[in-house]
Structure 1
């Protein structure tokens, strides 16, 4: 329902983006031919975003370069550094909200 409503609210040439995964029974009626809210007449677009839509082969080298140049501060995104034997505790800490992100150090 929210996706359908978002598409109907678009202005001429607008784009709505869904984030995450819908339930299996979710459906969207786009009313393609409706001149007031239809996708066809309004040149509206519906995009889908899965998990941030990262392309690792392209994005990871770029992110590494930005980090090394000091343009991307990843250090503040790491709550704790852990050893491989501490993974279970790290998941528990994340689940309880004590940390945001743990990085496993080898």
Structure 2
């Protein structure tokens, strides 16, 4: 661990996950990757340095991003949450407190600005 703030990226599509990792690391943060919500929960149970979770909502097999966000808000209240989706629209969502939403394809500048605000 380098002293940089750490962002957990939860995305089931490998290419989109790699792009999100590049975005986060180019913005000056460390990243940790999870391919699904179950993996993300396991990481959160082991690490105390995660400041922000950036998660896709639409994940097959098991817990989706909305449920993951609710679990994070319940079990790890200080962690900030950014949710993204190519299938859901913001007006259709009831987001947990201190959660922001971006539709895919999102503008990287917008997501990085949210991360910067949350990780300050």
Identify whether the pair has TM-score above 0.5, normalized to the shorter chain. no
Instruction: Give the structure with the larger strand fraction.
Output: 2
Larger relative contact order (CA 8 Å, sep ≥ 6)? 2
TM normalised by structure 1 equals: 0.30
Greater gyration radius: 1
TM normalised by structure 2 equals: 0.27
